[in-house]
Chains A and B, each alone.
Chain A
Amino acid sequence: QQQVKQSPQSLIVQKGGISIINCAYENTAFDYFPWYQQFPGKGPALLIAIRPDVSEKKEGRFTISFNKSAKQFSLHIMDSQPGDSATYFCAAITQGGSEKLVFGKGTKLTVNP
């Protein structure tokens, strides 16, 4: 009930391509869905987040698509760059609830030049 399932585990994309990472959840009480980006040797940092009252949120080259009925959300990175190479984690939380984020297991993205 508390899991967030993330796929793929790893992804290799050519420079300029589109990177797509998918996540699925079961708990319908989740109401905030952030994505974290982690570079090697660093802690994760918030990249972009969405609430279930919208179906899409875009910030620069990063877009979250949200499908409430399917309980799925995805991160799209347009025009992927080598500097985007990092590990990406999706997460979910119920605001006003336990204060704990439930994380997916992460996707290691490599963007080849």
Chain B
Amino acid sequence: DVKVTQSSRYLVKRTGEKVFLECVQDMDHENMFWYRQDPGLGLRLIYFSYDVKMKEKGDIPEGYSVSREKKERFSLILESASTNQTSMYLCASSPLRGSVPEQYFGPGTRLTVT
């Protein structure tokens, strides 16, 4: 089974702190994604990576950056956390040009910024 793991299930940080959210997948997938999920807004794509060291902005990249130094690991960075970044963060992976473009999601990290 594909497994996508996220470093923390719950995280509480203070305004202005630098926050790292880590995601690891074990299926050798090329594509990795970071979403945030908020009630009534669904899943919004923050950043996407289709290869090591490659990244592409999603719909809401402001205030976030990403790092992908190894194929299996994709990190989301909040350079200076703000209260409006309190949210559920979901990581996903998928194979490049897969016959079934299924995205496999991690369990999520619920981040609270106070």
Contacts and interface: CB of A to CB of B under 8 A. Distances in A.
Nearest to B44: A103
Interface in B88-114: 90, 92, 94, 96-97, 100-103, 105-108
B107 to A, nearest CB: 5
Interface residues of B, number: 24
A46 B102 contact: yes
Q: What's the dominant secondary structure at chain A's contact region?
A: loop
B108 A43 contact: yes
Contacts, number: 52
A99 interface: yes
B40 A105 contact: yes
Q: What interface size band does chain A fall in?
A: 20 to 34
Given A41-B107, A49-B100, A9 B90 contact: no
B108 A89 contact: no
Give the interface centre of B97, B100, B102 by most chain A CB atoms within 10 Å.
B102
A42 B105 CA distance: 9
Contact of A105 (B4, B41, B101, B103): B41
Interface of A: 6, 9, 32, 34, 36, 41-46, 49, 89, 93, 95-96, 99-101, 103-106
